[in-house]
Amino acid sequence: MLPGMLLSRTQLLSFCRRGVMLAVALAVGPGCQVAPAPGPARPPEIERPSPRVEAPPDDRPERLAETDVRVLVVEDAPHVAIHSRRPMSLRHSTGVRRLPAGTWTFRVLEAAAPSRRHHVFVERFRARHRDEAYAEARAWRERGYPAEVFPMGSHYETETGDLLDNRQFWVAVGRFGSESEAVALQRRLEQQEDKWSWTRAEPVGQGQLRVEVIGPGQAHAGRFEGPMELSSEVPMEFARMEGTLIDPRFETARFTGALELDPSSRGALAVFERVGLEAYLAGVLPAEMPPLWPEEALKAQAVAARTEALVNRIDKHYFEGYDFCTREHCRMYGGHAAWHARTSAALRETAGEVLAYGDTLVPAVYSANCGGWTEDNDAVWDAEPHPALRGRPDTPSGSREADSPAMMGVRAWRDHGPDTFCSADEANYRWTEHFTREQLTELLNRTRDIGTIAEIELGDRGVSGRHTVMRVRGSRGSATFERESAIRLALGRLPSALFDFETGQEGGQTVFTFVGAGRGHGVGLCQHGARGRAQAGASYEDILDHYFMNARLERLR
């Protein structure tokens, strides 16, 4: 592909979702054959990418009203039972079958996951540096690697005509039919090229799916082959079953979008909902923030969730052929069953509004309770410092850095810190957790084999007081955990990394007592802080302006 040629995200996901391999190859001569570079560091034999362009170049901005998402709602099931009060249309491999209203069971007769192709990536570039991505790929090709450029993500136009471009351009240098081959190339790149790399697996082809469909009164509709899509004029509802990923807080798993049935990665049944972005957000907001909270807090959450979803469509499951799952690591999603009049109104009243910084959307993340002070994004994740994601005091009057938990110490902050907007959250604002040495050893050895815990040393902190370095010495070795997310993962059930600890004796056992504040990573919007600010009279614009410093509100076309 020439440097100026791109695939739109809609086209890319269309091919990816149906298992067609995307080949974004750089034209380097007939058949894209390149002689390997001379010398001892000869690259391995790697499958050459196809020079065929799968779709015409499309550099047009995506319209928000046309944006839909694909959500994994059933991961691995032998059957599903789906109910609709109106007739459903079942599109299958050879046609369309109309199913009368009622409950229909789709039972797997045969399922085989599509094969997977493993890509090895070496660089990623933001949209403003896309020419550098193609130059990087050309340089790898000159050394004998079949480099490809993958344009990922979308860009949008604001009502004022500005472009917000969050696309990324990933450079791959090899693709393989097995993970072991991809890992072998990664090792060679590190040894021979001194280059760090990462892999992503992509489905190839459609796999196989054959189901038997049985309706009310054991009526037999027939046997059908996939891929299949089920749609209705009214929301479709899952019977409760093992494998449904919807939050159990909601009585039913009900969906407004089309339901797509595909073979799962384990050779069973996977179900995806394809739904418009705003309808998706209508199922996110009530799961992320209580609908009875103040209106301005709900609006702030609506803008943050919309922006964060648009930014992270390529973050978690892009190469797996869908956008999001319903688990917390994407964001909580309750489907149509979660819809609530107040959160839906917050979406309508902020329609199209997003947070921007410069010419990009802000990664508008949020957490339950910051503990009184939010955190810098680069203290939590391995990322560049973002000007809109700086740690901020969550106090009514604003506080100096000298008053922060990092400077005062967590215990002093807990006992003598200033009033904060998020303090009404009694369950998470302040907390204490106890671990015996045996319990802590079990937790830490899940990620590092270091034996019985002898000593824990806490290192640097972020501006909020959250730990960014933790060193642990055990009977079999030592380990260092860097950044807030790794520390929380290592310590299991701690609500946040904003803590101190002490050791003592209890019943003849050594006990580690952790005292801390807040729940979650603490970056961006503090949800309980937003609630407190709204109750104090702040508008949603004021709330967003505080938590996302230097960001601005824009409305997308």
pLDDT at 273: 96
> Cβ contacts of residue 320 below 8 Å, gap of 6+?
201, 202, 203
Q: Do the bridges between strand 478-482 and strand 324-325 make them parallel or antiparallel, or are there none, so unpaired?
A: unpaired
The tokens describing 166, both together, are 């969050």
Q: Is the model more confident about 401 or about 125?
A: 125
CA pair distance 364, 353, nearest whole angstrom: 12
Among all chains, which residue has been given the structure tokens 């130059």? 135
CA pair distance 146, 46, nearest whole angstrom: 8
Which CA distances in Å does 192 have to 37, 40, 171, 186, 189? 13, 9, 18, 10, 5
Q: What angle do CA 263, 269, 270 make, to 5 degrees?
A: 80
Residue 321: what residue type?
A: G
Q: Is the model more confident about 484 or about 478?
A: 478
Q: What mean pLDDT do residues 471-484 have?
A: 93
The tens digit of pLDDT for each residue in 317-372 reads 888 889 998 877 888 888 898 999 999 999 999 999 999 999 999 999 999 999 99
pLDDT at 489: 87
Q: What share of the chain is helix, strand, coil (3-state, %, to 5)?
A: 25, 35, 40
Q: Where are the domains of the chain?
A: 9-60+115-204, 66-111+207-277, 366-521
Model confidence at 55: pLDDT above 80: no
The confidence band for 90, taking pLDDT boundaries of 50, 70 and 90, is: very high
Of 41-45, 74-78, 84-88, 340-344, the poorest mean pLDDT is in: 41-45
CA pair distance 503, 505, nearest whole angstrom: 7
Distance, first Cα to last Cα, the chain:
30
Q: Is the model more confident about 90 or about 241?
A: 90
The tens digit of pLDDT for each residue in 233-258 reads 999 998 755 444 444 544 568 899 99
What does pLDDT average to over the chain?
A: 86
pTM: 0.85
Q: What mean pLDDT do residues 430-454 have?
A: 93
pLDDT at 76: 87
The tokens describing 89, both together, are 């249309």
Model confidence at 42: pLDDT above 70: no
pLDDT at 414: 80
Q: What mean pLDDT do residues 10-34 have?
A: 36
pLDDT at 29: 35
Alpha-carbon dihedral sign for residues 442, 445, 450, 456: negative
Residue 476: what residue type?
A: R
Kindly state the percentage of the chain with pLDDT values over 70. Answer: 86
Superfamily designation of domain 9-60+115-204 = Sporulation related repeat (3.30.70.1070)
CA pair distance 245, 74, nearest whole angstrom: 6
The confidence band for 380, taking pLDDT boundaries of 50, 70 and 90, is: very high
| H helix count then E strand count, the chain | 14, 30
Q: Which helix (H) or strand (E) holds 252?
A: none
Burial class (CB in 10 A: 0-12, 13-18, 19+), 225: middle
Q: At what angle do helices 540-547 and 295-311 cross, to 10 degrees?
A: 50
- Cβ-contact 489, 447 below 8 angstroms: yes
For residue 485, the Cα-to-chain-centroid distance in whole angstroms is 14
Model confidence at 487: pLDDT above 60: yes
